[in-house]
Amino acid sequence: MEKGTFKLVANNKKAYHDYFIEEKYEAGLALHGTEVKSLRLGKCSIKEAFIKIEQGEVFVYGMHVSPYEKGNIFNKDPLRVKKLLLHRQEIRRMSGRIAEKGYTLVPLQVYFKNGLAKVEIGLAKGKKLYDKRQDIAKKDQRREAEKEFKIRNL
């Protein structure tokens, strides 16, 4: 993606810690006017958000978009369920994979692409506790190696 047309609003780092992300999809986000303005100001959180497929449509739950300060009566509920815009074929593929045990859909990031609000969705499989420990150990090893390398190169 080009840097000029891409503006990151929210990132879900916890998803990479808790899940193995196998596939990624880009979905449009159906929003109301004041929600878009609030997103442009970067007031969004997807830490506790999750995605469900209901009757062939995809919805994101728990995505918090703070009310726009100047929005007064036009502001919507910050935790309102938001519809995601995807092709029917993608929705079918996702629902087939979710039917398998252990798979879920998680929002990875919210961003603006060419002026349109988008959500990156990850088809994820949950990590076990020992997987998380292995990841933390690898991260610590990498950090130590970088520290050693930095000391040597001074």
pLDDT in tens, the chain (154 residues): 455 577 888 888 888 878 888 888 898 988 877 888 888 888 888 888 888 888 888 898 888 887 777 767 666 677 788 888 889 998 888 888 888 777 888 898 889 888 888 899 988 887 777 777 888 888 888 888 888 887 777 6
Are the C-beta atoms of 86 and 27 separated by less than 8 Å?
Answer: yes
Torsional sign, CA 75, 78, 113, 26 = negative
Question: What pLDDT is attached to residue 129?
Answer: 75
Question: What pLDDT is attached to residue 4?
Answer: 54
Question: What pLDDT is attached to residue 1?
Answer: 47
Are the C-beta atoms of 63 and 44 separated by less than 8 Å?
Answer: yes
Give the list of residues 6+ apart from residue 29 with CB closer than 8 angstroms, or none: 60, 82, 83, 84, 85, 110, 117, 118, 119
Nearest to 115 by CA among 61, 47, 43, 39: 39
